[in-house]
Amino acid sequence: MGLFTRHRRAKLRAQPLADEAWATIDKNVPYARTLDAGTRAELAGLVQVFLAEKHFEGCGGLELTPEIQLTIAAQACVLLLHRESDVYPTIDTVLVYPHAYRTPPAPQLVFARSPSVVGQEARSGEMSWKQGIVVLAWDHVRTETHVVGDGQNLVMHEFAHALDAEDGAMDGAPPLDTRERYQRWALVLGDELDAMSRRLEDGLETDIRPYGATNAREFFAVVTEKFFEDARELKLAHPRLYAELKEFYKQDPASVAADAAQPGPRAD
């Protein structure tokens, strides 16, 4: 990151979010309501940088609104809190459709929740780190913002893929600090993925969304969703997995108050 970029971002981070912006975030990003004032201020700064640097475009007739942009930016930036970050350097553009969309299959993209359709695929989200694009269906994003505890969050899923890609490989392991961290990450997440796959092969249910068994990269994206959206269950059922994600994200969502109904303190 160059000197000019650091200076510009410092100015952006110093700009407070308007009360109207915070009202939208508090309504659509329940996790933000659980954060202390300092962390909310950090989130506000990240959101300002994200909105300034990423190009949003409405597709399929969708008219972009501040609510759409703020909701997506805040959910994506939750993943960056308390960590050294270049604010998704592999992503330049966020395309937003009004609802799930159908396009011809494109092997270079990473898909989320995309059941096959004859000749096409119905998609609610996808990410191409080589093209610098994230695509989201707003109806899925909006619905999931108001369902707390289901372990699903489309925005976090796609931007977890973006984190995974920051080291140039989509392999289920985002950039980590040390060789030992990579080894432990591979051991813990590999064991959890193998155990989940065996349960599914035996026809048993799993508390982690089955799509995560697709491969290592989807497993990381799916458990990221659950880490922020259903943290207490993940910690109880998968303590080693929770600990790895806690160390990576430098957050402990299982420890926050269960009742997020009341807005938290505003960050000035």
Q: Where are the domains of the chain?
A: 3-255
Q: Is the per-residue pLDDT at 114 higher than 90?
A: no
Output the CATH code of domain 3-255: 3.40.390.10
Mean pLDDT of 88-110: 74
What is the structure's pLDDT at 261?
Answer: 40
Mean pLDDT score of the chain, rounded to an integer? 87
Instruction: Write the pLDDT tens digit of every residue in 137-181.
Output: 999 999 888 777 788 899 999 999 999 999 998 999 999 999 999
What is the structure's pLDDT at 147?
Answer: 75
Mean pLDDT of 79-89: 94
Mean pLDDT of 104-132: 50
Who has greater pLDDT, 127 or 225?
A: 225
What is the structure's pLDDT at 126?
Answer: 64
Cα separation, 224 vs 214, in Å, equals 15
Cα separation, 69 vs 80, in Å, equals 17
Strands (E), 33-178: 55-58, 93-97, 101-103, 110-112, 116-117, 120-123, 125-128, 133-137
What is the structure's pLDDT at 262?
Answer: 44
> For the CA atoms of the chain, what is the radius of gyration?
18
Who has greater pLDDT, 266 or 142?
A: 142
pTM strictly above 0.85: yes
The residue among 124, 92, 102, 100 whose CA lies nearest residue 111 is 124
What is the per-residue DSSP string for 149-161?
A: TSS--HHHHHHHH
